[in-house]
């Protein structure tokens, strides 16, 4: 049988180091009387792929919006390399739940957007955009406008835009929630390859337990609202992972039980 899908065959090894990259301390957030985040604290290691799972409505998006200071928080702090997180200083990329491309910009312009905001010189922008478009297989489409592209290509543009800034921290909020299963698996594998290649630290939020077990080095399970960390699970299953492997199923079931019983 011919297998032309080589991505799954590639061995991906974790790039995490023992060094702590991100520290979240006592993050607390309410909207009026509604307490959504209740004293959330954890560390992320450099190069680690951390997944945070929790039921819909538990406060996952609020959590990421608080991290990036889109929301003002009531209490707590976030440190990157021991210093308060500063979007001007640290290279942090954020892929929103309702991700989108800018329809009026070509693929290469979409990808270079963040670099221009940061004021990089033109030659650096060109070099970064070329590199990331090649890595993600969008090179041929660099002059296309988004309306000519399929859902999977649009998602790649968003990922390319995030990786173009060579983020030290990549925050992702259910980026594949709206995609069909086949495509989701393909993009997850692409994401793992980019992660391995670049060594970026990832915080990936999802309500999809299988996705968390497939991607992560470690899983934080959140409680229902107000969200607290219910449990932390180390995920050292070898990659590429097989969703039918008994060890995979065992971990998936453990997370499912944790989410099911409050
Ligand atoms: N801007 C807001 N104003 C008021 N309530 C909000 C706001 N954003 C989120 N919430 C509430 O916070 C809770 C958590 O929402 P959210 O963080 O979007 O959950 P999740 O991403 O886990 O599905 C929900 O009850 C939601 O209604
Ligand atoms: Mg959400």
pLDDT of residue 9: 52
CA 181-248-227 angle, 5° bins: 75
- Please indicate, yes or no, if residue 119 is contained in any of the structural domains: no
pLDDT at 16 over 80: no
Q: Is 61 a pocket residue for ligand 1 (Cβ < 6 Å)?
A: yes
Q: Which of 27, 30, 62, 68 to mutate to test the pocket of ligand 1 (most atoms within 8 A of CB)?
A: 62
- Please indicate, yes or no, if residue 48 is contained in any of the structural domains: yes
Residue nearest to atom 14 of ligand 1 (CA): 59
Residue nearest to atom 2 of ligand 1 (CA): 31
Residue nearest to atom 5 of ligand 1 (CA): 31
**CA distance linking residue 187 with residue 176, whole number of Å:** 8
Q: Are 84 and 253 in contact (CB under 8 A)?
A: no
- Please indicate, yes or no, if residue 51 is contained in any of the structural domains: yes
Distance 194 CA to ligand 2 centre (A): 24
- Please indicate, yes or no, if residue 261 is contained in any of the structural domains: yes
Residue nearest to atom 17 of ligand 1 (CA): 59
pLDDT of residue 6: 44
CA 187-190-191 angle, 5° bins: 85
Work out the percent of the chain whose per-residue pLDDT is above 90: 69
- Please indicate, yes or no, if residue 251 is contained in any of the structural domains: yes
- Per-residue pLDDT reduced to its tens digit, 50-71: 999 998 889 999 998 888 777 8
The number of domains in the chain is 1
Distance 131 CA to ligand 2 centre (A): 31
Work out the percent of the chain whose per-residue pLDDT is above 70: 95
- Please indicate, yes or no, if residue 198 is contained in any of the structural domains: no
Ligand number nearest CA of 227 is 1
Average pLDDT over residues 222-228: 91
Distance 258 CA to ligand 1 centre (A): 21
In CATH, what number is assigned to the domain containing residue 221? Answer: 3.40.50.300
Identify which of 220, 238, 239, 242 has the alpha carbon closest to the alpha carbon of residue 230: 220
- Please indicate, yes or no, if residue 250 is contained in any of the structural domains: yes
pLDDT of residue 56: 87
Domain of 63? 14-89+204-262
Q: Is 98 a pocket residue for ligand 1 (Cβ < 6 Å)?
A: no
pLDDT of residue 10: 59
pLDDT of residue 2: 42
- Per-residue pLDDT reduced to its tens digit, 60-113: 999 988 887 778 889 999 999 999 998 888 999 989 877 789 999 999 999 999
- Per-residue pLDDT reduced to its tens digit, 155-174: 899 999 999 999 999 999 99
At residue 4 the predicted structure's pLDDT band, cuts being 50, 70 and 90, is very low
What is the model's pTM?
0.90
Which spans in the chain are helix H?
60-67, 107-117, 122-135, 151-164, 181-198, 209-215, 246-260
Task: Give me the chain's average pLDDT, please.
Answer: 90
- Please indicate, yes or no, if residue 39 is contained in any of the structural domains: yes
């Amino acid at each position: 049988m011919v297998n032309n899908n080589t991505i799954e065959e590639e061995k991906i090894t974790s790039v995490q180091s023992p060094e702590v990259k991100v520290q979240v301390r006592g993050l607390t957030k309410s909207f009026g009387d509604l307490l959504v985040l209740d004293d959330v604290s954890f560390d992320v290691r450099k190069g680690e792929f951390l997944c945070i799972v929790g039921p819909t409505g538990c406060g996952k998006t609020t959590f990421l919006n608080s991290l990036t200071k889109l929301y003002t928080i009531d209490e707590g702090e976030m440190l990157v390399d021991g210093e308060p997180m500063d979007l001007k200083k640290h290279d942090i990329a954020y892929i929103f739940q309702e991700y989108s491309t800018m329809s009026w910009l070509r693929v290469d312009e979409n990808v270079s957007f963040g670099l221009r905001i940061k004021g990089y010189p033109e030659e650096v922008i060109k070099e970064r955009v070329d590199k990331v478009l090649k890595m993600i297989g969008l090179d041929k489409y660099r002059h296309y406008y988004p309306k000519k592209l399929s859902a999977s290509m649009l998602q790649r543009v968003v990922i390319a835009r995030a990786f173009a800034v060579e983020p030290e921290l990549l925050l992702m909020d259910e980026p594949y929630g709206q995609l069909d299963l086949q495509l989701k698996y393909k993009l997850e594998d692409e994401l793992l390859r980019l992660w391995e290649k670049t060594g970026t630290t990832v915080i990936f939020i999802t309500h999809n337990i299988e996705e968390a077990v497939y991607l992560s080095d470690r899983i934080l399970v959140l409680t229902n609202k107000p969200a607290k960390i219910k449990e932390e699970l180390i995920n050292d299953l070898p990659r590429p992972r097989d969703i039918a492997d008994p060890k995979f199923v065992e971990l998936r079931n453990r997370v499912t039980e944790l989410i099911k019983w409050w």
